[in-house]
Amino acid sequence: MISTLKAEFLKLVRPIFLILTLAALALSFFMATMGQQTGAAQFKTAKDNLALSLQRPTPCSFFGLKSGKRCDRARAQDLVDARNFVKQTIQDTRLGSASQQPLGAAGFAAGVMSSVPGAFLILLLAAFSLGGEWSGRTMKIMLLQDGRRARLLLAKLVVLWVASVWLLLWTIIGQIAYGQLFRRVFVLPPPPGLHDIWAYAGPRLLHAPLALLLFAALGLAMATLVRQPIGAFFGGALCLIVVNFLARFSGLHDWTPAGWLASWMHFKREPLLFDHLWADKMPSAGEPRALLGLIALIAALVTIAIVDIRRRDIQV
């Protein structure tokens, strides 16, 4: 088993893995920039609006009133609204501010890699490494050397999972570096306290490895079933699209893989933060149900791959 794992790890030393690592860094940067830019623009607008209300009270004619008590009350309400807008903006950008800090940046990266962007990268890796072995003669040669097919697939699953964790680690490193840049470019309110940042980032960092294992199992199953790189990738991508679509129906959300993953990763839509791409509109299932569902799904995907490779002939 050790020699098989060693051989599989050596296969990761390929240009495709470097390309996927750079793609993970680019996707994380793009999603973070969108949220940071939007949050900074709204925070500036809110501050400018409040400053203008304090320096230059709104003319009474704007309210359709003449000078007097009614106009004064309208101006006072306008000032209250401006202050409330600032407070709401600070609330909406709190996680954007948190993602400029190292711990918050790590949580942001975990959300990116544990949703559709990370899943697509892992599917690509599985499709063009494992799937490519089927379309060539590599798999036939490997099985002639060692016919224990189930062990070979389990070794490939381990390698895919380790590779996905590697992608996550580099994404975290990149996101922390981006945070230092963002603090200089995008002006946001002060970040929340360490306890609040951990409440956001902690569950994601602790739960991300299981999400990555799910994507690796899906990639393994699709590469084994389809046995062709492009078909394996698009087959896996179609599965992700279907489960996310089904999860948007309130009656199905808690019983779909997308709902389980959203619950497990604590995905929640924030107005000024783009830290994941996943179905998250409906109420989430509890963590225990989500954990059991994900484990069962991973076991089912691996079992399907093992049964398929044992029963089907290898044709090249």
Radius of gyration, CA atoms only, the chain: 25
pLDDT at residue 316, rounded to an integer: 44
C-alpha closest to that of 153 among 90, 225, 84 = 225
pLDDT digits (tens, 9 = 90+) for 29-65: 999 999 899 988 988 888 888 888 778 777 777 767 7
pLDDT digits (tens, 9 = 90+) for 117-137: 999 999 999 988 876 666 556
pLDDT at residue 243, rounded to an integer: 92
How far apart CA 150 and CA 45 sit, in angstroms, is: 59
For helices 116-135 and 194-226, the axis angle rounded to 10 degrees is 30
274: which DSSP letter? Answer: -
How far apart CA 47 and CA 60 sit, in angstroms, is: 22
How far apart CA 73 and CA 75 sit, in angstroms, is: 5
How far apart CA 184 and CA 33 sit, in angstroms, is: 13
Q: Give the helix/strand (H/E) hosting 89.
A: helix 69-92
pLDDT at residue 142, rounded to an integer: 58
Q: In this model, does residue 145 exceed pLDDT 60?
A: no
Residues of the chain with pLDDT > 70, as a percent, come to 87
pLDDT digits (tens, 9 = 90+) for 219-236: 999 988 888 889 999 999
pLDDT at residue 284, rounded to an integer: 58
CA torsion angle for 309, 244, 163, 125 (degrees, to 10)?
60
What are the E-state strand segments in 183-271? none
Place of tokens 């949703």: 115
One-letter amino acid at 224 equals T
pLDDT at residue 300, rounded to an integer: 96
One-letter amino acid at 143 equals L
User: How long is the chain?
Assistant: 316
Q: In this model, does residue 93 exceed pLDDT 50?
A: yes
For the chain, count helices (H), then strands (E): 12, 0
pLDDT at residue 104, rounded to an integer: 94
pLDDT digits (tens, 9 = 90+) for 288-306: 888 999 999 999 999 999 8
pLDDT at residue 140, rounded to an integer: 59
8 Å CB contact between 71 and 63: yes
How far apart CA 86 and CA 107 sit, in angstroms, is: 26
pLDDT at residue 215, rounded to an integer: 97
8 Å CB contact between 96 and 217: no
Bridge partners of residue 270, in order along the sequence:
273
Q: In this model, does residue 139 exceed pLDDT 80?
A: no
The contacts of residue 2 (CB under 8 Å, 6+ apart) are none
